[in-house]
Amino acid sequence: MALGTRVVVDNTIHCGECGPCRDGRPLFCEQFVSLGCNAPGAFAEYVVVRTSKLYDIGSLPLDVAVLTEPLSCAMHGVDVLGLSPGSNVLVFGAGPTGLLLSQLLKMAGAASVTVAAPTQSKLDLALLHGANNIVKLERNDLAEAIDSLREIAPEGFDAVIEATGKVTVLEAAVQLARTGGTILVYGLAGENDVAEIKPYEIFSRELTIKGSFAQAFCIGRALFTLQSGSINTEGIITQTVGLNGFATALKNLHDPEHIKTVVGQL
């Protein structure tokens, strides 16, 4: 790869030798390294990456290419979900992941996607990005939203994706899944958080609960999807700051009007 080539990086590193790697499950590598998580990442002036982990972005604009990694994680989630064509799907959350997921779900076979979130501006963006329905959540009271969602899908949704990391939302997701439906736990909850889920409900309604941890080998597909123009990224990046603006980026995480802050120069 020539010096000066613009690239995106697959930030996951697998040893290739442990039991999970040998079994074809590198995502659960015993020596798993994620640049930016448990190893130095790109919030720095320089970072060292294996050339095999670099993907040439060609003429793709930087403000689109920067979303390759989050899109790859969403793509893995859709892979795990294993959606059937013609499905009626509910996504809790309209952050970067929710907005990308809702579009990928349409590509994967969802006939209708409903997005539920507490911030109206994000819901409006979800509509522009192809969501069929939007429902506003009250942060501390889901009852009214649950009623509205039941009106949209009286028998429940074929799949419900929890992309907020909130325990109460996961509990609502179980209630809103149709008999025989699937709940995908995508949002990052606290390691010690506990949800109240009735085992008998899972048993008697034959519900399936799946988790989506991280991406493995999805970067190439994600980049191609962006290059093809199949995903609308307009409005997802709400602010760009330099390396000296890292504190601002962290502050934006707590501002519901911000969606994605990029650290760097686009």
Q: Which residues pair with 7 in a beta bridge?
A: 56
Would you call 215 exposed, middle or buried from its count of C-beta atoms within 10 A (0-12, 13-18, 19+)? Answer: buried
Check: CB of residue 111 under 8 Å from CB of residue 88.
yes
Check: CB of residue 202 under 8 Å from CB of residue 179.
no
Q: What is the pLDDT of residue 63?
A: 94
Distance CA 50, CA 48 (A): 7
Q: What is the pLDDT of residue 141?
A: 86
Torsion sign across C-alpha atoms 149, 136, 163, 174: negative
Distance CA 29, CA 53 (A): 17
pTM score of the predicted model = 0.93
How does DSSP assign 196-257, residue by residue?
---HHHHHHTT-EEEE----SS-HHHHHHHHHTT-S--TTTEEEEE-GGGHHHHHHHTT-TT
* pLDDT tens, the chain, 266 aa long: 889 999 999 999 999 999 999 999 999 999 999 998 888 888 888 889 999 999 999 999 999 999 999 999 999 999 999 999 999 999 999 999 999 999 999 999 999 999 999 999 999 999 999 999 999 998 888 999 999 999 999 999 999 999 999 999 999 999 999 999 999 999 999 999 999 999 999 999 999 999 999 898 999 999 999 999 999 999 999 999 988 888 999 999 999 999 999 988 77
Best CA proximity match to 63, nearest among 235, 204, 243, 214: 235
Torsion of CA 222, 227, 228, 230, to 10 degrees: 60
Check: CB of residue 170 under 8 Å from CB of residue 162.
yes
Q: What is the pLDDT of residue 17?
A: 96
CATH superfamily membership of 71-211: NAD(P)-binding Rossmann-like Domain (3.40.50.720)
Query: Boundaries of CATH 3.40.50.720 in the chain?
Result: 71-211
Q: What is the pLDDT of residue 42?
A: 85
